[in-house]
Homo-oligomer: A and B are copies of this chain.
């Protein structure tokens, strides 16, 4: 197995609502809702949207699509400045997201907040001096 994640797929209640949410945030796609699945042109790992029940069915016919409690997974967007953290959180609210944690100085030395998307999927938006970026926008991980 090569060390890479090809796709992160979010199960969503409404492809249309979530497609609009992520395009409002700046994720480009050529896909329409009619295609049944949305792929965004993201650097490195592709972000995809798929109806929640169909995603559960894709794993197993026995898997209930009911979601309760914490998913146990978060996505993170590392911004290039504190100002960008605030701007992304503002943009998430404007697009219909919910602030779960107001941006603040955090214990590990960063500045970080969380928003949730229309289905409650959690995104951390963070900045810290310790992070640096490769040319393609991915993080330098040592």
Contacts and interface: CB of A to CB of B under 8 A. Distances in A.
A58 B30 CA distance: 35
When A and B form their complex, which 3 residue pairs have the shortest distance between CB atoms, in order from nearest?
A: A44-B44, A45-B45, A7-B76
A83 interface: no
Copies of this protein, total: 2
Contact of A100 (B40, B59, B67, B142): B59
Nearest to A123: B5
A69 B64 contact: yes
A74 interface: yes
Given A8-B5, A100-B60, A40 B73 contact: no
A47 interface: yes
Interface string A32-55: 000000011111111110001001
Contact of A5 (B60, B75, B91, B141): B75
Interface residues of A, number: 65
A9 to B, nearest CB: 5
Contact of A69 (B1, B6, B68, B141): B68
B41 A44 contact: no
Given A60-B101, A68-B69, A41 B141 contact: yes
21 contacts: A1-B88, A2-B137, A3-B28, A3-B43, A4-B77, A5-B8, A5-B75, A6-B138, A7-B139, A8-B73, A8-B74, A9-B74, A42-B141, A46-B139, A56-B70, A60-B100, A68-B68, A71-B71, A71-B72, A73-B73, A73-B121
